[in-house]
Structure 1
Amino acid sequence: MSWLKKILILCLIGLVVAILGVAAAYWYVKDDLPDVRQLQDVRLQTPMRVFTADGELMSQFGEQRRIPLTLDQMPPQLIEAFLATEDSRFYDHPGFDVIGMMRAAIVVASTRDATQGASTITQQLARNFFLTREKKIIRKIKEIFLAVKIERVLSKDEILELYLNKIELGHRAFGVGAAAQVYFGKTVDELTLDEIAIIAGLPQAPSVLNPVRSPTNARNRRNIVLGRMLTMNYITEQEYREALQAPVISRRHGAQITASAPYVAEMVRQQVVDMYGEDFAYSAGLQVHTTVSKPIQDAARRAVQQNLYDYDERHGYRGPEAKLWQQDDEEGQDAWPESELLRYLAEQSSLEDLLHAVVLATEEQTAQVLMADGQHITLPWEGLKWARSFISDHRQGHAPRQATDILQPGMHIRVRHNGEHWQLSQVPAASSAFVAMDPNTGAIQALVGGFSFAQSQFNRATQAKRQVGSTIKPFIYSAALEHGYTLASIVNDAPIHHWDQGAGIAWRPRNSPAVYDGPIRVREALAKSKNVVSVRLMRGVGLDETIAHLRNFGFAEQDLPRNETLSLGSASLTPLELANGYAVFANGGYLVDPYVIDRIYNEEGELIYQHQPRIACPKCQQETAEQPAELDSEAQLAQLFAALDAGQESSDSTALPAAPRVLSEQNAFLIREALKTSIWGGGNWNRGTGWNGTAWRAQSLQRRDLSGKTGTTNDSKDTWFAGFNRQLVGISWVGFDDANRSLGRATWNANLGRDQSSGLEAGARTALPAWISFMQVAMQDMPADPAETPSGISSVRIDAETGLLSRANDHTSMFEFFMRGTEPSQHAQPGSPSFSFDDEVPDTELLELFD
């Protein structure tokens, strides 16, 4: 009994010491313990997500990848895997596990190995939110006290839900939702048992146990997790064995992007960061909805890429990426084994739809190649015959006759599937950009800043100021209409020789091509893009007056050269700036503001930002600053414009902020009409007087409501097409990033016949095809605009040659639009041309004209 008493006394003393020790420890650390009640209102850092107007995910930005889930959204097996591995008595302990701590202590005492932890899920949660990972006794004491406090504040399910969303699982994935996406490209409910076990094994050491970095470590850890699940009776013996046999297949996945618009996404990222700062933008779970729709954006991207492929193929094949072996000489090398080729191809990074391949053999007009996925494919002659050799931007080699003229075994090449067959390809050397916007609101409908964002993040649609060439002419002609000219005015299309006294040289602007028609009506001159007429019109208006007029379209004065080259397109603008200028013609004279962010929601789904566009709407009143308008985004705008198009009043029309009018409705209408002639031409083909405008290829769209203008700069360094109707403006640009490099010319390729275009690269040949391809999709369900003539416009019959009034009713006459009061007052005399030049023409030029 004495021994029993001694044991009881020792136990009591030990208990008292333990209580005092715990009390002392708590007293020591209590001032350093944070208030765990903040976990009741915790906000997990979630990335910013960017969506298209139709709800497709465009991109996401943030240091931490997280997909918050409720416990109900997680598969039971996933929860059981974490409980079996991390805390099997989670629902029984008060926040710390005495049994687990004793087991860890025994391991430390027997092996002196302190790697085995005894932290419960609640302790891990405390550490993740409030503490560091430093291995010190004081940190462990704080962790236990915090765990107990957490258990008093939150329920077990709330603790587990926070833990599974907070835990770091490698590759910037935080929480099980993000881990499922990053490692397997799946949602949690799509995970298999073996994948669940891999994720549940990550918390111990995510950097070395993840399946991307070390499949072997991940497999070993997975098997341990599966064993614990079997021991806990969470899975059956059969499930256990099947999961053990599953291979570890994983790669790093990005966000589940469903709409490819990286240039737009980057624009949005920059704007949101400017609005809210980086910390809030990247971690507050913002949901940003843009004005871009997936089908329209896809059409723009495909149009740009295919157009660059077409340009590249016109100019020839620049050769393979590399030659792995060569067998055509006396010291021929042995071909690589297929296993080595597959390892080599696996190391190559793909770009857009261009895939890596190695040529294995060539026959007469086919080539056998090995793809990175191990597939053997045949390149048919249809996919090879374009590939004559590239010599320079202006020269190409002879058309190939057989596959060996192009390819040899051992060549590392790029191929793509064009929808019909595989074909040899290459990364385009030229660059391009495309912008489409709603001219009535400024909403950007589609934007492509280059061939591939992965290749270059430089956004040519918004950052590249390039000379605009003849796309400036509608603005020059618009200024002329403001200063007394009409579409029927006759201007002398003849060479100009202007002596520059200061420079001691003569300036001789020329037409391209160098064809001069003599006296020509303004409408026809614009449609045929006559350079010298543009110069004469600007002279008639005056340089200062012309620049002042161009500023009304939103162009910065510093981008407008103060000399006569301005009339030929020496101004440098971005495609977006040019689109905004053309929107003034499209919408009837209003300057709108381009925008891409429509609205922003916070993590709780509350609207925190709604863009208020200034509308091109003559019936809308501008709101005062004290009473800003409130719009219901695109739905309300669509309803408004439908009512306005029907001639009805809208209850919202007086509440919308109106864009400023910068051009008369009549001037905008006349330029629109003149630019329709750029597409459809004029004259009478049956009488031999028919002629085409520079944009005649756009006739393939079979729409009479389209207006457009081509543009080409000196030496074809920049090529443009700007086209629009009242609902959509599209700008296409093609050029090299090196502004000094010419797009050159393509000679005839006998292998391609009618399937190709040869000659000097220009706006009509190089930029217009992308615009046509885009419009074929974008305008598919868009009804044609009715041909409405605004008030203040009259239509009279004129003589096609002189621009004067005509009494004839045949091919020599036509109807022309005029601003009321500017109609010609004289009639043309039959058989005797009567020219009325609207600028002073030196006699020497008249002699040249009629010589």
Structure 2
Amino acid sequence: MTLLRRATQFFIVMSILALLTLISLYYYVKSDIPSVEVLRDVQLQTPMQVFTQDGKLINQFGEKRRIPVKIEDIPTPMLQAFLATEDNRFYEHFGVDPIGIVRSAFVLISTGQKKQGASTITMQLARNFFLTREKAYIRKVKEIFIALHIEQLLSKDEILELYLNKIELGNRAFGIGAAAQVYYGKQLHELTLAQMAMIAGLPKAPSALNPIRNPTRAKLRRNVVLGRMFSEKYITKAQYDEARRAPITARFHGAEIELYAPYIAEMVRSYMVETYGEDKAYNSGFKVFTTVESSIQKAAQQALINNLHSYDMRHGYRGPERILWNTEQPSMSTNKILDTLRNVKEIDPLQAAVVVDVAEQSATALLKSGDYITLPWSGLKWARAYISDTRQAMPPKTATEILTPGMQIWVRHHEQQWQLSQYPRPTSALVSMDPQSGRIKALVGGYSFAQSQYNRATQAKRQVGSNIKPFIYSAAFENGYTLATIINDAPINQWDKSVGVAWRPKNSPEVYNGPIRIRRALAQSKNVVSVRLLKGVGLERTADHLLKFGFQDQDINRSESLALGSAAITPLEMARGMSTFANGGHLIEPYFIKELQDAFGKTLGKAEPLIACDEQQLETHPQRCAPQVISEQNAFLVASAMHSAIWGGGSWRHKTGWTGTGWRAQALKRRDLVGKTGTTNDSVDTWFSGFNRNVLTTVWVGFDDAGKPLGRAAYNANLGSNQIVGAESGATTAQPAWVDFMQVALADQPVAPIEPPPGLISTRIDLKTGLLSNKNDHTSRFEYFESGTAPTKYALDEDNSTPFDNEPIREELF
């Protein structure tokens, strides 16, 4: 009894001492213990992902790879693998496992080494969030107290979910969702048992046990996990044996970029950083769904690239990138060629290659991949030598005139064959949007983001040339002019007192038709008519009218050269302004973010753009309507004249037919399209803007070196009749990309013409005089007028003259 009493007393005293020690330790470290309340609203460092409207990943921003998952979405075998390996009594203890602590203490006493940490999943969570991996007793004490706090605050499932999303698993993968993607390119539910066990074995040493860097050690660790799962009766013997025999299949998988659209991705990144700050933007797991459509965006990028290569090819081949050996030297070995190519930076779609053999009309080249390719004559015959931007040498007759062995060249795979290529010297931008809402459907800011991150679609203010004319004509319609008004298309010779010289604006080409209707003048892009209209309306009044379309005052040059397109405007600004003619006169606001979600897919916000409203919408939901800056009648009249820019007019049978500058768009065989070319002096900047009611696209082509002309191309006898020759222009340089893109963008779209609004009348006019006509033949046509603006006089058979036929045409009308 005495011995029992003493043992009891000893136990009580030791318990009191242990309790006092525990309390003392608590107060000792209390000031260093962080509040675990933050776990209630924890924000895991999850990268921002950018998607297309239809859910394809464009890009990912952020240093850490993390794909948060809810516990109910985690496969049971995955949960069991972690529990069996890290904490098999997780659901039984209170955050600290006494059995584990005793076992760890025994190992420490018996060996003198800290081989077992006795850390539960809750303690590991405490360390991962608030502490370090330092093996120190005081850290372990803090870990225990924080774990006890966590267990009071969160449920077991919440703790486990946080742990599995937070834990580091190597290769910058944090959490099991990211690990599944990084190591196997799969989602969790797609993993095999062996793969789940592999991931569950990583927390012990993410680097040392990494299956990519050290597959042998990783396999041993995986089998330990499988053994623990079997001993805990989570898996059967058959499952255990099958998983142990499974090979190591892990390899590095980057973010699964499904559509490479870097200019749009950078626009999103910049906006998110500006709005939320860098840390929150990169680490909050935002999912940003853009407005672009993947198939249309891809078509835009391809159309722009193909068009720039077409320009570059018609201007001649500038030669190889370098020469590795010449004909007098021995050729390099295959291995040495490959070593050289490995150091060459490639920019998609171009691939570096070295010519190893040249036949009469073909060549053989070696790619960086080690593959040999054949360049057929059809992929070589374009390559007449470049002399200057305006001159090219004679077309080659054999491949030996172009290539010799030892040349390092650029090739690209185009139209199912390999083709000799080169970096295009000019660049381009394309913007396509829904003109009714401003939703950007596709945007490309240059040939290659890797080559230049400068976004020409949003940043490059370039002179717009004749793309300005629809806005000039809109000002004219607002000031009493009509589509039937006759303007004198004759040379101008105006003395400019400010500089002491004569200003002689010219048509391009220098063809003058004399008295001409405004419809035809816009369709054929008559420069002198645009100048006369600006003068007739007034410079200040015209410039102020242009500001209605969203252009900046500082970009509008208030001189008469404004009529010829001296204003400097970005392609996106041009697309926005042109949208006004497609939507009935409303100024919409372009937008590129459709929806913003958090890391778990909860919607944080959606775009609510102001739209072009009809009368009913304006009455019922005026707050949703974009401002109307010109009348819908004005917008329609401009669009109608732009329709003639594509489809022309007159009667070819009666030899009065004429074409507009945008006639190449007829290839799309859609009567709902309207458009306008644009070319500046010396072909420095070239444009084409065209649309129907639902899709509007603007294309610009030029050099980054502002002021450098695009030059001209001579006929190449090797390329047949369907080639572009002569001076570069909006119709020949920018419009082909527009046509190629719209072929895809409109493929499944219904016909959507710009319909005439109320307030217009249609009456037959005489084509020569613009007056009313009683005839129903090729000398007349129906024309649209705003109510009260139609002519009141009829053209007389005996006096079918124009307003200018009875007076001399003066060189200076101002």
User: Do they fold alike, i.e. is TM over 0.5?
Assistant: yes
**Aligned counterpart, 2:455:** 459
**Aligned counterpart, 1:394:** 390
Residue 265 (structure 1) aligned with residue 265 (structure 2): yes
Aligned partner of residue 312 in structure 2, secondary structure: helix
**Aligned counterpart, 1:335:** 333
Contact residue 621 and residue 656 of structure 1 kept, 8 A: no
**Aligned counterpart, 2:499:** 503
Contact residue 681 and residue 692 of structure 1 kept, 8 A: yes
**Aligned counterpart, 2:291:** 291
In the alignment, the residues of structure 1 paired with residue 468 and residue 161 of structure 2 have an alpha-carbon distance, to the nearest angstrom, of 61
Contact residue 470 and residue 568 of structure 1 kept, 8 A: yes
Aligned partner of residue 46 in structure 1, secondary structure: coil
Q: CA deviation at 1:514?
A: 1.6
Q: CA deviation at 1:708?
A: 0.6
Contact residue 617 and residue 659 of structure 1 kept, 8 A: yes
**Aligned counterpart, 2:222:** 225
Aligned partner of residue 754 in structure 1, secondary structure: coil
Residue 552 (structure 1) aligned with residue 548 (structure 2): yes
In the alignment, the residues of structure 2 paired with residue 107 and residue 499 of structure 1 have an alpha-carbon distance, to the nearest angstrom, of 102
Contact residue 201 and residue 225 of structure 2 kept, 8 A: no
Q: CA deviation at 1:355?
A: 3.5
**Aligned counterpart, 1:726:** 693
Instruction: After superposing the two structures, state which structure 1 stretch, 795-804 or 277-286, moved more.
Output: 277-286
Q: How does 1:311-390 map to 2 (within 5 A)?
A: 311-323=311-323, 325-329=324-328, 331-337=329-335, 341-342=337-338, 345=341, 348-390=344-386
**Aligned counterpart, 2:765:** 798
Distance 1:154 1:480, change over 3 A: closer
Q: CA deviation at 1:487?
A: 1.8
In the alignment, the residues of structure 2 paired with residue 398 and residue 195 of structure 1 have an alpha-carbon distance, to the nearest angstrom, of 63
Q: How does 1:463-502 map to 2 (within 5 A)?
A: 463-502=459-498
- Amino acid across the alignment from 1:295: S
Instruction: After superposing the two structures, state which structure 1 stretch, 438-447 or 781-790, moved more.
Output: 781-790
In the alignment, the residues of structure 1 paired with residue 4 and residue 402 of structure 2 have an alpha-carbon distance, to the nearest angstrom, of 98
- Amino acid across the alignment from 2:222: V
In the alignment, the residues of structure 2 paired with residue 758 and residue 541 of structure 1 have an alpha-carbon distance, to the nearest angstrom, of 37
**Aligned counterpart, 2:678:** 711
- Residue 252 (structure 2) aligned to one of 243, 250, 253: 250
Distance 1:460 1:834, change over 3 A: same
Contact residue 479 and residue 541 of structure 1 kept, 8 A: yes
In the alignment, the residues of structure 2 paired with residue 55 and residue 811 of structure 1 have an alpha-carbon distance, to the nearest angstrom, of 53
Aligned partner of residue 334 in structure 2, secondary structure: coil
- Amino acid across the alignment from 2:649: G
Q: How does 1:324-723 map to 2 (within 5 A)?
A: 325-329=324-328, 331-337=329-335, 341-342=337-338, 345=341, 348-603=344-599, 605-620=601-616, 653-654=620-621, 656-723=623-690
Contact residue 615 and residue 656 of structure 1 kept, 8 A: no
Instruction: After superposing the two structures, state which structure 1 stretch, 609-618 or 679-688, moved more.
Output: 609-618
Q: CA deviation at 1:591?
A: 1.6
In the alignment, the residues of structure 2 paired with residue 333 and residue 115 of structure 1 have an alpha-carbon distance, to the nearest angstrom, of 61
Offset from partner CA, 1:238-269 (integer Å, 9 cap, x none): 546644x5466325x02x33344332233233
Offset from partner CA, 1:42-64 (integer Å, 9 cap, x none): 44343333333333333343443
- Amino acid across the alignment from 1:363: A
In the alignment, the residues of structure 2 paired with residue 135 and residue 426 of structure 1 have an alpha-carbon distance, to the nearest angstrom, of 59
Instruction: After superposing the two structures, state which structure 1 stretch, 340-349 or 570-579, moved more.
Output: 340-349
Instruction: After superposing the two structures, state which structure 1 stretch, 418-427 or 515-524, moved more.
Output: 418-427
Aligned partner of residue 613 in structure 1, secondary structure: coil
Q: How does 1:7-26 map to 2 (within 5 A)?
A: 18-26=18-26
Contact residue 662 and residue 676 of structure 2 kept, 8 A: yes
Q: How does 1:50-65 map to 2 (within 5 A)?
A: 50-65=50-65
Distance 1:420 1:604, change over 3 A: closer
Distance 1:135 1:316, change over 3 A: farther
Q: CA deviation at 1:310?
A: 1.8
Distance 1:350 1:218, change over 3 A: farther
In the alignment, the residues of structure 2 paired with residue 114 and residue 838 of structure 1 have an alpha-carbon distance, to the nearest angstrom, of 108
In the alignment, the residues of structure 1 paired with residue 713 and residue 198 of structure 2 have an alpha-carbon distance, to the nearest angstrom, of 56
**Aligned counterpart, 1:186:** 186
Contact residue 363 and residue 403 of structure 1 kept, 8 A: yes
**Aligned counterpart, 1:143:** 143
Distance 1:224 1:721, change over 3 A: same
Distance 1:41 1:824, change over 3 A: closer
Contact residue 200 and residue 225 of structure 2 kept, 8 A: no
In the alignment, the residues of structure 1 paired with residue 295 and residue 620 of structure 2 have an alpha-carbon distance, to the nearest angstrom, of 30
In the alignment, the residues of structure 1 paired with residue 656 and residue 720 of structure 2 have an alpha-carbon distance, to the nearest angstrom, of 29
Distance 1:274 1:98, change over 3 A: same
Instruction: After superposing the two structures, state which structure 1 stretch, 691-700 or 96-105, moved more.
Output: 96-105
**Aligned counterpart, 1:784:** 751
Distance 1:607 1:840, change over 3 A: farther
Offset from partner CA, 1:717-771 (integer Å, 9 cap, x none): 1110011122222111111222122222222222221342222111001111111
In the alignment, the residues of structure 2 paired with residue 115 and residue 519 of structure 1 have an alpha-carbon distance, to the nearest angstrom, of 99
In the alignment, the residues of structure 1 paired with residue 708 and residue 286 of structure 2 have an alpha-carbon distance, to the nearest angstrom, of 43
Offset from partner CA, 1:375-395 (integer Å, 9 cap, x none): 443333222322333333223
Distance 1:350 1:191, change over 3 A: farther
**Aligned counterpart, 1:643:** none
- Amino acid across the alignment from 2:518: V
In the alignment, the residues of structure 1 paired with residue 644 and residue 775 of structure 2 have an alpha-carbon distance, to the nearest angstrom, of 22
Contact residue 326 and residue 405 of structure 2 kept, 8 A: yes
**Aligned counterpart, 1:737:** 704
Contact residue 215 and residue 248 of structure 2 kept, 8 A: no
Distance 1:14 1:839, change over 3 A: farther
Identity score, percent: 56
TM-score by length of 2: 0.89
Q: CA deviation at 1:822?
A: 2.6
In the alignment, the residues of structure 2 paired with residue 688 and residue 570 of structure 1 have an alpha-carbon distance, to the nearest angstrom, of 36
- Amino acid across the alignment from 2:679: T
In the alignment, the residues of structure 2 paired with residue 802 and residue 187 of structure 1 have an alpha-carbon distance, to the nearest angstrom, of 72
Distance 1:451 1:836, change over 3 A: same
Aligned residues: CA RMSD: 3.5
Aligned partner of residue 461 in structure 1, secondary structure: helix
Q: CA deviation at 1:309?
A: 2.2
Instruction: After superposing the two structures, state which structure 1 stretch, 700-709 or 51-60, moved more.
Output: 51-60
In the alignment, the residues of structure 1 paired with residue 622 and residue 147 of structure 2 have an alpha-carbon distance, to the nearest angstrom, of 56
In the alignment, the residues of structure 1 paired with residue 708 and residue 183 of structure 2 have an alpha-carbon distance, to the nearest angstrom, of 44
- Residue 818 (structure 1) aligned to one of 771, 776, 785: 785
Distance 1:840 1:174, change over 3 A: farther
Structure 2 unpaired stretches of 5+: none
Q: CA deviation at 1:588?
A: 1.6
- Amino acid across the alignment from 2:709: S
Kindly tell me the number of residue pairs found equivalent between the two proteins.
807
- Amino acid across the alignment from 1:223: L
Q: CA deviation at 1:677?
A: 0.8
Q: How does 1:68-217 map to 2 (within 5 A)?
A: 68-76=68-76, 78-79=78-79, 81-83=81-83, 86-87=86-87, 95-96=95-96, 118-151=118-151, 153-154=153-154, 156-191=156-191, 196=196, 199-206=199-206, 210=210, 215-217=212-214
In the alignment, the residues of structure 1 paired with residue 424 and residue 33 of structure 2 have an alpha-carbon distance, to the nearest angstrom, of 60
In the alignment, the residues of structure 1 paired with residue 228 and residue 811 of structure 2 have an alpha-carbon distance, to the nearest angstrom, of 104
In the alignment, the residues of structure 2 paired with residue 754 and residue 843 of structure 1 have an alpha-carbon distance, to the nearest angstrom, of 42
Q: CA deviation at 1:96?
A: 4.5
Q: CA deviation at 1:219?
A: 4.2
Residue 772 (structure 1) aligned with residue 745 (structure 2): no
Q: CA deviation at 1:461?
A: 1.3
In the alignment, the residues of structure 2 paired with residue 453 and residue 149 of structure 1 have an alpha-carbon distance, to the nearest angstrom, of 50
Contact residue 540 and residue 839 of structure 1 kept, 8 A: no
Distance 1:115 1:230, change over 3 A: closer
In the alignment, the residues of structure 2 paired with residue 719 and residue 779 of structure 1 have an alpha-carbon distance, to the nearest angstrom, of 23
Contact residue 312 and residue 424 of structure 2 kept, 8 A: yes
Aligned partner of residue 400 in structure 1, secondary structure: coil
Q: How does 1:298-309 map to 2 (within 5 A)?
A: 298-309=298-309
